[in-house]
Amino acid sequence: MTLSIVLIVLTAAILHASWNAIVKGAPDKAIVLGLVSLGHAIPALFALPFLGFPVWAAVPFIVASTLIHWGYYWFLNAAYKHGDLSVVYPISRGITPILVALGAIFFANEFLSIGAWIGILCISVGIGFLALAGLGKHTNWIAIAAALGTGLMIASYSIVDGIGIRLSENTLGYIALLFVAEIFVACFVFTTRWQRLVAMPRHFVWAGLAGGVISGLAYGLVLYAKTFAPLGMVSALRESSVVFAAIIGVMWFGEGPKSNRLFAAITVAIGIVVLAFSR
């Protein structure tokens, strides 16, 4: 992988951890997730006429990704409702790199080098260790199950979008149309929870919309990287965001325990370096 692609994906990782922190800190997570979807759709609606549309062959992938994102938001809402950011986030992101790398073999005929697999495994082990460090006597197993479901949804839409954007013949047009489709998620959330939206404090409304813009930028950068690098490698780099999420969880939300995070961070960092030099 080139240094520029590595830096792009790491930037996306930091942004991704930030918007998850916004969702975790919100009093009504379902409403904020609807606002995040709206934060995707509004900028994309304005940009799409200037960016143009992808070819028709990419449209089924956009439809499939949108449906999978509904499942993703459902599981994410349940996970953050019952569990800590520093536990839920590492679990949901930790299983993703290996699932994406395996899925890419079957669906994209994409085979990675031994070095790339070592990097992916290092990142997954570091993430897994971070998740285990957050578990304790009072761990909510509903949150764990929801986090695993979230990870499965992430892997699914990662593969679908990775293939779709390569077929699109218009990278930015694919990203814009994918985000416009998020309007359906926002409409569903708000039409079934309108009174809760009205009661939401205004600063959380703006935070949710800002989170959507940040989330959209993060995923847009990842999709762009997937046009230049293997899906499994990009996914693994992206999931390094768990280190940033763990730091946010400890520093912002006061979550514990605080030990063992250095080991996890170093392991993930080693995996990132190995991936950066893999072919």
Residue reference for tokens 């995923």: 219
Given a contact cutoff of 8 angstroms between Cβ atoms, the answer to whether 210 and 35 are in contact is no
CB 134, CB 56: distance < 8 Å:
no
Residues in the chain: 279
| Predicted pLDDT at 203 | 83
Enter the tokens of residue 231: 């899906």
Q: Measured between alpha carbons, how far is 45 from 63 in angstroms, rounded to an integer?
A: 17
| DSSP3 helix / strand / coil % (the chain, rounded to 5) | 80, 0, 20
Q: Find all residues with CB under 8 Å of 75, minimum gap 6, and list them.
A: 92, 146, 147, 149, 150, 153
d(CA 32, CA 211): 9
Q: Which residue has the tokens 């994209």?
A: 108
**CB 277 within 8 Å of CB 115:** yes
pLDDT at position 245: 65
Q: With a threshold of 0.85, does the pTM exceed it?
A: no
Instruction: State whether residue 121 is helix, strand or coil.
Output: helix
pLDDT at 262: 61
272: tokens are 């990132």
Contact (CB, 8 A) for 11 and 217? no
Q: What is the pLDDT of residue 42?
A: 93
Q: What is the pLDDT of residue 248?
A: 65
The three-state secondary structure class of 23 is: helix
Q: How many CB atoms lie within 10 A of CB 142?
A: 13
In degrees, rounded to 5, the angle at the alpha carbon of residue 131 between the alpha carbons of residues 129 and 74 is 145
Instruction: Please report the pLDDT score of residue 181 as a whole number.
Output: 92
- pLDDT tens, N- to C-terminus, the chain (279 residues): 677 888 888 888 778 777 767 776 777 878 888 888 899 999 999 999 999 999 999 999 999 999 998 898 889 888 888 887 667 777 787 778 888 888 988 888 888 888 888 888 887 787 777 666 656 556 677 888 898 999 999 899 999 999 999 999 999 999 999 999 999 888 888 888 888 888 888 888 888 888 889 888 988 998 888 888 888 888 777 777 766 666 666 666 665 555 666 677 677 777 777 776 676
Q: What is the pLDDT of residue 64?
A: 96
